[in-house]
A and B are shown apart, each in its own frame.
Chain A
Amino acid sequence: MFKIRASLFLKFAFFIIFGAGIVLLILVKVNSSMMREMLLESRGDYYTALALNAANKIDKSFSIACKDVDEAALIFQNQEITRDNATALMQRIIKNNDSVFGSAIALAPDMDFESTGYQILYTWKDDYGNIDMIDRLNTLKDYQSDWFYLPQYLGKPLWCELYNDFETGMLMTTYSVPVFVDGKLQAVITCDLTVEHIDSLLSYLNVGEKTESILVSDNGRFIIHPKKEWIMTETFYSLAEQSENVEQQDVLKKIAHDIRVKSSSLYRYYSPSLEETVWFYFNHIPSTGWVVGFIVPESEILAPIHVMNNKMAIAAIFGIFLLFIPALLISLSITRPLRQICHATSIISTGDFDFSLPHTKRTDEIGRLIEDFGRMRDNLKEYMTNLAIKTAEKEKISSELAIAEEIQHSILPKLFPPFPKRAGLDIFAILHSAREVGGDLYDFTLLDENHLYITIGDVSGKGVPASLFMAVGKTLMKSTIQAVRDPAKALIHVNNELADGNDSCMFITLFCGILNLETNELIYSNAGHNPPLLVKSGTPEFFPDACTPPLAAMEDIEFTNESMFLEDGMQLLLYTDGVTEAMNREEVLFDEERLVKVVSENPTKTAEKRISTVLKAIRKFADGAEQYDDITMLCISNQRQQEHIMSENSPTSALVLTNRREEFARIVTWLENLSEELKWGPGLLMQLNLVLEEWIVNVISYGFPTDESVHEIEIRLWQSENEIKLEVIDDGVAFDPTEREKPDIEVPLEERELGGLGIHFIKETTDKFTYERKGGLNVIRMVKELSS
């Protein structure tokens, strides 16, 4: 029970949860990647806008300073060039702008410095807020510096590269405005902004914690960068040169190029300073040509995803746990009834049909399963009950049939030899029913001392009805023939009796005959039965076919008698159609020809052996095919009393019997008759009896250990003047009694070998005891000398 539960239940629950889990996972993934796109876009937009904003702010700040210098230049143009004027102008520039650090007015190298009173003046704010002024000393160097010489040659105002001013040591950028009068340069007026000022402009910006704000000069150098050592030394290109990653190199070189020519852009690369993947958004500052940018780690942009993923994961896990309950319930709702059905099945299978199934009001598959299962159980119950009843009935019939079989067989003569006192009369019969009870019959009885009644018959049909009819017929025939002593008459009477009121339309084929034992004349009448077979030396012969119909078919049939002579040594074989119509697997019939062949090829001397031979042949022919009809045979032969010749050659008398102990009675009768005829003394008779008995018993007991078939034993007796010679021939195992040692009479009975004593007795009683093995036969010769 637990096993089912463990596998199906858990499988269900597992699959539900697994499936839900997969769906959730996919959802999270899809959501995650959509969010990633959205975040990158939105943050990208934010930082792009921020870069623009910052650029504009810086630009604005610069522009304000620019404006002042431009104004100053204009004023200068229209002013007299004096030291005081210059001083005033510079101070104006400085004072107006918090962001301006210093200002210079540099007169062109070819001006008359004597009259102007100065060459290059520089004013700046010192640490204490005071305004200082100096005359620049190294004017040559100043004239060669970018802030002078660029506007001089370019002829326009410009911002120059960030530099470390050698006099103040500060990192600054200068805006210079050239003043041309009549196409000739008069002076260059400047203002200086420090990087610190710009740094403060950027510091208000709302950027992520790890985001780097950078400023790049128009010479590509970092002006503002979290990595202080890179300021004024490294450029994007130099970083590319120091990179070992080709991809990184390419992007950095591209950025180095693009910040010169593009106004804004964005890139994704692996940052050498932050050592993670970053997005770089930049924007140009129009006035100076610098670039302000933000290096934003992708992880910062996508951080919300991680938060969201975590939250979703928790929610998903929670959800799955919740799912567990319905999964469990569903699983349970299926597996529990299944379990119950399982349990019910195992109990019902032991035979307890009354065990109730789980009750349910469900109409779904499980409900239907329970319903159907219940129906099946009820059907099974009914079936089993019916089966039990039928089986009981059948058994009853079966047992009754068994009894019927016993009864039926008991009414047939079964004792063989039936007339041991008539040594010459050899009768044997068998009846093998196809079913428990059959329709075949045979019968014989001595009507008187010299008349033997034999009969064989076959009732139409099989089974109980046939057997009942058979019993009636057999009994009626026996009592009738005992009364009328005439086969035809008996048939007429029995026929009328049976035909009258024969609603069942059954009939009996019957052969009936009376044998005169003295004359061997057989009077017979055949009511539609198979003509018997006469076995004699030469070809066996069938009796003529019956020309009268079977009994019980119609009333008032004229049956007639026929007669023939059964000579000595002739065997008469009566049989039913169970013999000739025995079928093999190919449904070929045994037939009369085969019967004749079997009989002629196997000469036998005893009726038993004859029947046994034919029966063997039938069984062999049938080869395992089912026996459809009763097989019945009756064989008879009669050796009349005759004069016995005393001769040296041909035996005085012979007797053939079969290897059954019951046959021994015939030997006794035979010897008695001989004794009477040949005038033996009682002593001799007794001796011969004992000797033969001893030997025959020996043969019967030990001669045929391996088979159950019928064997014939022939006994011949020669009576001569001075001796009686006995010969016993059997086809049993080779056994030479003459070789046997004398038994040790001293040894107690239990320890002695069997048979030893008997043979000893024979040897003692007879005068000669010889053995010969000839052609597979044991031949024993005993000689008893006659005392005169």
Chain B
Amino acid sequence: MKVIGLLIFLFCIAVSADQKVTMVLQWEHQSQFAGYYMALEKGFYIEEGLDVTVLRGGSDVNPFEMLEKGKADFCSAMLAPVLMMSKEEIKFCLLAQLINSSTLSLVAWKDASDGSTISDPTDLDGKKVAIWESFRAPYKAMFDYYGITPNIVPQYYSFSLFAQRGVDACSAMMYNEYHSLLQLGVGEDEIVVFKFNELGMNFPEDGIYCLKEKEESCPEVCSAFVRASLKGWAYARDHEEETLDVVMGYIKKAKLPTNRPHMKWMLDTVLEAIYPSEGESWKVGKLSEKSFNESISILNITNDISYELFTSKEACDVQD
């Protein structure tokens, strides 16, 4: 008996050549994470010797907590909240900066509830505006820049308040809420959009993170994971329909209330923010020190956070 048990144990060790890792997403399944799905689907992780499990995120999931508790190895997260958490101590390491261009925006009704017209950010002064808590800092920076003080209301998981005209403006990600508004039947001519990347407040968003210790102890695994993930993203960029099929598979399985055109919009917008086009200076998967510093200043972080420590070898852009 014991001999058999020992043999099985040895056998398991022998066959488990692939490293088992877990990735937890920052929200529910959607094409915002298409690259990871495709890397999984196409076996890019396997090629790198990784046996990856992708876990969903959501309002009930705290990816950082899962990393800290060891329930996940990697997570997808936005730069801003991580920076906020890194004020005292750098607990997390950025392995790859995916979204380098800001997709944050403020959407306002052209005709405000008090009868005036909103066409410029300055028109928002004194109006009721719903803002995501986690982005309070960038929005505040924007308000300060235009010298306005709108009446801020919290925005949680829906923009119903905005749709029901409870507020005159609300937060929207260009790849998500904006298109949802359109799908609701709101005409493009009824609203005005203030995009952060057009207002000169272009700071990066989604990236792959892991515990700093992890990065220090098994950098090869991290690199492998990043490599495969980037390959997955490249594949998604080049095979849109196939990617959408895979994403819709996840959607249907999770019974999420969204549809293919919305996923397509999301994918297209996210890809634009990952891969630079003519005239854009970032490098795919890398966070430039300049953007790093800009983000810190927008967030009004006075503490010193080391760029070199924050970013991994792959994520840091030495050219800057």
Contacts and interface: CB of A to CB of B under 8 A. Distances in A.
A233 B166 contact: no
A221 interface: yes
Given A235-B185, A237-B183, A237-B185, A145 B160 contact: no
Nearest to B153: A153
A487 to B, nearest CB: 143
Given A144-B156, A260-B186, A153 B161 contact: yes
Given A149-B154, A237-B184, A221 B161 contact: no
A161 B261 contact: no
B262 interface: yes
Query: Which of A145, A257, A258 counts the most B-chain CB atoms under 10 A from its CB?
Result: A257
A146 B160 contact: yes
Contact of B157 (A144, A229, A236): A144
Nearest to B251: A233
Interface residues of B, number: 30
Contacts of B163: 218-219
B135 to A, nearest CB: 15
Interface in B125-176: 153-154, 156-158, 160-161, 163-164, 166-167
Interface in A214-262: 218-221, 229, 232-238, 241-242, 256-260
B10 interface: no
Contacts of B187: 257
A238 B186 CA distance: 12
Given A220-B184, A234-B259, A235-B184, A161 B160 contact: yes
Query: Which of B163, B184, B251, B255 counts the most A-chain CB atoms under 10 A from its CB?
Result: B184
Interface in B44-59: 59
A388 to B, nearest CB: 106
A229 B163 CA distance: 25
A144 B60 CA distance: 12
A256 B183 CA distance: 8
Contacts of B160: 146, 150, 160-161, 219
Contacts of A238: 183, 259-262
A154 B164 contact: yes
A235 B166 contact: no
Nearest to A149: B156
A256 B185 contact: yes
B7 interface: no
A223 to B, nearest CB: 11
A113 to B, nearest CB: 21
Interface in A575-617: none
Contacts of B257: 164, 221, 232-233
B158 A146 contact: yes
A146 B59 CA distance: 14
A154 B183 contact: no
A235 to B, nearest CB: 5
B182 interface: yes
A161 B158 contact: yes
A172 B183 CA distance: 21
A256 B259 CA distance: 15
A631 interface: no
Contacts, number: 81
A699 interface: no
B185 A220 contact: yes
Contacts of A361: none
B258 interface: yes
A515 to B, nearest CB: 144
Nearest to A155: B166
A141 B59 contact: yes
Interface in A289-307: 289
A504 interface: no
B161 A150 contact: yes
Interface in B251-289: 251-252, 255-262, 264
A242 B260 contact: yes
A675 B160 CA distance: 170
A158 interface: yes
Nearest to B257: A232
A168 interface: no
A229 to B, nearest CB: 8
A220 B183 contact: yes
Interface string B177-199: 00000111111000000000000
A164 B251 CA distance: 14
A206 interface: no
A215 B251 CA distance: 22
Nearest to A257: B185
Contacts of A259: 185
A203 interface: no
A218 B166 CA distance: 14
A141 B60 contact: yes
A141 B157 CA distance: 10
B156 A235 contact: no
Nearest to B182: A237
Contacts of A78: none
Given A141-B60, A164-B255, A238-B262, A150 B184 contact: no
A784 B163 CA distance: 163
B161 A154 contact: yes
B284 to A, nearest CB: 28
Nearest to B58: A166
A138 interface: yes
Contacts of B60: 138, 141, 166
A166 B184 CA distance: 23
A153 B183 CA distance: 25
A235 B184 CA distance: 7
Interface in B223-276: 251-252, 255-262, 264
A515 B265 CA distance: 150
Contacts of A149: 154, 156, 161
Interface string B281-312: 00000000000000000000000000000000
Contacts of B166: 150, 153-154
B164 A158 contact: yes
A233 B258 contact: yes
Contacts of A141: 59-60
A150 B164 contact: yes
Interface of A: 138, 141, 144-146, 149-150, 153-154, 158, 160-161, 164, 166, 218-221, 229, 232-238, 241-242, 256-260, 289
5 contacts: A144-B156, A146-B156, A150-B161, A164-B255, A220-B183
Given A161-B158, A164-B255, A235-B259, 18 more contacts: A141-B60, A144-B156, A144-B157, A146-B156, A150-B164, A154-B161, A233-B251, A233-B257, A234-B259, A235-B183, A237-B183, A238-B259, A238-B262, A242-B261, A258-B185, A259-B185, A260-B185, A260-B186
Interface of B: 59-60, 153-154, 156-158, 160-161, 163-164, 166-167, 182-187, 251-252, 255-262, 264
10 A-B pairs with least C-beta separation: A241-B261, A256-B185, A144-B156, A232-B257, A238-B259, A237-B183, A220-B184, A260-B185, A154-B166, A233-B259
